[in-house]
Each structure stands twice: as structure tokens, then as C-alpha cells.
Amino acid sequence: MNIHEYQGKAVLKSFGVPVPRGYPAFTTEEAIDAAAKLGGQVWAVKSQIHAGGRGKGKFKEPEAGEKGGVRIAFKPEDVGLFASQMLGNTLVTLQTGPAGRVVKRIYIEEGVKIAKEFYLSALVDREQGRVAFVASEAGGMNIEEVAHDTPEKITTVGIDPLTGPTNADTARIAAAFGIDGDLAAQCDALIKKLYDAFTKSDMSLLEINPLIVTEDGKLICADAKVSFDSNAEFRHPEWEELRDLGEENEKEIEASKYDLSYIALDGEIGCLVNGAGLAMATMDIIKHFGAEPANFLDVGGGADKAKVEAAFKIILSDPNVKGILVNIFGGIARCDVIAAGIVEAVEEEGITVPLVVRLEGTNVEQGKQIIRDSGLNVIAADDLEDAARKIVAAVKG
């Protein structure tokens, strides 16, 4: 689950992490008020979307002006101007794709005088089984480029969960930034607070790019990208308000209502599968035969008819779907229940694309009978390979 920069900074601030002061705004008036409340002479006006690269992004609409999604204002009038240019317009960045995202909220921050920009992130390093910090003196730019062109500029420090960040760990990070003395001491305190925030808030990713040194020698988080681990949702009721459904995929929102594991993808073959492993294998074999899956979808073991029906409707509603592959291995899930859900969904929504069904396991005969009785035009398949070949042929042929 992703949240906006201003929300991420508020979370970090609650753990004592230094971030600039700021207020979110949904209207131009709120933006002007925010600048007045902040005072000072310089303000950063920042588009809030769930995608990075805003600084170098461009708005689609000419009336939004030439500047990017992060603008520096030297007069309160400019805060108002930038707010009116950003709000309601479409920001395209390297991460949004060409469609871009409509900016519906912005963040007004006190301007900071930047002397240096670093890159810092924390993530769950599955290989080491620990939280790791990734630090680089090459901040403010595209870290993927740094990793590719100058990998020696990136330092990864895994943190022992029993001790948390040690002084030796934070010293390595300070060394990666090329700082010492008081700044290294600030870095030590910062890393310990960030680690605390990361673990206690169940983050899966925290990226601070840039972490800045101000002209008066303070280490401050100038940007914050926070993702939470959705598996921990049950112990974070406070996440509910942080969620911005406008930034999430509609089909994924619908799927989450039914507790389906669904991820929208770019391909043309919709997949309805039970079991995450089987869903992965189904996606692989679709690719193997030369097509691309339109989604990952695991209806789960105990799927009832309503859940299957909802799942199938989500697939049917995807305009990119040119064919559907149902691949069910009935263990706990029963083939007749799955078949009934599919038939129900098709009766309500209709279906115009080819449908290949492979059913195997518990109650398979009853399942096949339900599909035969429905008169649905189904291409039957014997096994996974046969099913994949048939759906790819139907879509490509």
C-alpha cells in the first residue's frame, strides 16, 4: 500500500525524523493559506501523486506551464499560481507512464536551502532476511541510473534485527555520504529513527531522495516515498485514512473488497486461477507460448460462488482482455463452485472473448456438467499446457 509524500513525512515526523514543515492543500486557497501559515520567503509546491520523478515531470495541459511537478515559489502569489496550474492537471513522469496522473492534492512546504543531496532508502532484503539501508552520495537523481552506471557509489547495509542499527552500521552509511563530525552524528540519529519508523510502521519500502544537507548544516528528509506491507493491515487501523483510492487501480480496489489477490498487468489474457503458485505457473506458460497475462488472480482455496463471480466480472471488465484462461486445480476449492460462479458472472455480464477452461480435481465432473448445461461457449482443455496453447491460439489466431 502506497501513501503520499506528505503522509509519509507525517509518519516519519512522529518518530522524530527531521522533515521540513508543510501543509497539504486540495485547493488554491488552501495552498495560499498554507504559505501564510508557514511564513518565510521561499516555498516548495509539490504535486502529490503515487509516483516518483515529479521534479522532472511535465504537465500535459499547456496552461499548467512548462515547469515540472515540484516548483519553488519566491512569492506567495506564485504559490497560488503554481497551485492553480497543478491542481486538476495531468502530470506525466518516468514512473506514471504516458497516461500520467491527475494531480488532486499538493503539498506546500517551507523552502530549504540545499547544500547537498543524498540518496537513502530502506527495504526488506529477502536474501539477507533483514531490513537493509541503501545509501549513495549521488542523490536527487534517478537511482536506477546510478546503480547501472556507477554501482560503486551505492552502499547497502543490512541491519541485524536483534540489535537494530549499530554505530558501525550508521558509520558506514555516513562514509557512503562522505560526511563526518556533526553531520555523521546527525546521520547516526537519523538512521536509528528511520529504522524504528520502518519496523514499527510495517513499511515495505522507504525512499528518501533526496536526503539533504542544508546550507546551515542540517540533515533533512526533503522527499519521502513510503509503502506499507499490506499483510500488516490488521494491526494498523490508522492506514484506512491514509489510503487514496483515487491513486489505486479500480479493478484492484474491487478485488480487495472480495479479498481476492489480484494485480492488474498489461497483457491480453485474463487469468482466473486458484493458488498463488499455480497463478504464477499459469502466467509463465502464457508467456512461454508467446502471449502476455492481463492480470495475476488467485481466488484462493476457500473461494465461494460470490467470490468467483466477482473475480470473473473483474476480468470481464478489463478492455485489454482478448481471451480468458480459467485454470483450476480443485483441492480445497471445488470445481463445481468455481464453474457456478463463472456461469453466473457470464449470465449477468455476457462474454465476447474466447474462454478456455481447464478444471481438475475435486468435483471436476459436476463442474464440467454445470458449464455444459449453461450452453456457454467454452474451449475445454486437458492440462495446463493444452490450456495455454489453446488460449494463445484463440487470441493470436
Applying CB under 6 A, the span of 106-114, 228-236, 306-314, 375-383 interacting with ligand GDP comes to 106-114
Specify the stretch interacting with ligand GDP by CB under 6 A; choose among 44-52, 143-151, 277-285, 327-335.
44-52
Q: How far apart are the first and last CA of the chain?
A: 38
Catalytic residue, chosen from 5, 6, 109, 119, is 119
d(CA 112, CA 117): 12
Query: Choosing from 5, 109, 195, 207, which is the catalytic residue?
Result: 207
Q: Of 300, 378, 386, whose CA–CA distance to 342 is shortest?
A: 378
Contact 378, 357 (CB under 8 A): yes
209: nearest Cα among 154, 170, 149? 154
Indicate which single residue of 12, 17, 45, 52 sits in contact with ligand GDP (rule: CB under 6 A). 52
* Cα three-residue angle 233-95-111, rounded to 5 degrees: 85
Selection from ligand GDP, Mn ion, none that 358 binds (CB < 5 to 8 A by kind) is: none
Q: How far apart are CA 218 and CA 223, in angstroms?
A: 15
Q: Say which DSSP state 347 is in.
A: H
Q: CB-wise, 117 or 318, nearer to Mn ion?
A: 117
Backbone angles phi, psi at 71, to 5 degrees: -130, 145
Q: Is 209 in the site for ligand GDP (CB under 6 A)?
A: yes
Pick the closer one to ligand GDP by CB: 121 or 282: 121
Residue 12 binds ligand GDP (CB under 6 A): no
**22 part of the interface to ligand GDP, by CB under 6 A:** no
Rounded Cα gap, residues 322 and 137, in angstroms: 47
Cβ at position 171, least distance to ligand GDP in Å: 26
User: Does the footprint of ligand GDP cover residue 222 (CB under 6 A)?
Assistant: yes
Cα radius of gyration (the chain): 25
Q: How far is the CB of 223 from Mn ion (least distance, A)?
A: 4
Distance CA 45, CA 89 (A): 14
Which of 4, 9, 50, 54 binds ligand GDP (CB under 6 A)? It is 54
Peptide bond preceding 354: is omega within 30 degrees of 0, i.e. cis?
no
Cell triple for residue 50?
A: 503515487
Give 242's contacts (C-beta < 8 A, 6+ positions apart). Answer: 1, 3, 7
Sign of CA dihedral 94, 100, 105, 111: positive
| Residue showing cell 555520504 | 177
Q: Of 172, 233, 229, 222, nearest to 204 (Cα)?
A: 229
Position among 210, 267, 330, 367 found at the interface with ligand GDP (CB under 6 A): 210
Name the strand (E) or helix (H) holding 173: helix 167-177
Q: Rounded to the nearest whole angstrom, what is the least distance from the CB of residue 140 to ligand GDP in the complex?
A: 4
Give the angle 369-375-376 at the CA atoms, nearest 5°. Answer: 95
Residues in touch with Mn ion (CB under 5 A) = 209, 223
Q: Is residue 344 among the annotated active site residues?
A: no
Residue 80: contacted member of ligand GDP, Mn ion, none (CB under 5 to 8 Å, by partner type): none
105 binds, among Mn ion, ligand GDP, none (CB under 5 to 8 A by kind): none
* Residue 119: active-site member: yes
- Between residues 74 and 396, which has the closer beta carbon with respect to ligand GDP? 74
Q: Which of 48, 85, 105, 109 binds ligand GDP (CB under 6 A)?
A: 109
Q: Least distance (Å) from ligand GDP to the CB of residue 53?
A: 5
When binding is defined by CB under 6 A, the residue of 32, 70, 159, 339 that contacts ligand GDP is 70
Name which position in 65, 80, 111, 158 contacts ligand GDP (CB under 6 A): 111
**Enzyme catalytic residues:** 119, 207
Residues that bind ligand GDP (CB under 6 A): 44, 46, 52-55, 70, 72, 109, 111-112, 114, 117, 140, 209-210, 222-223
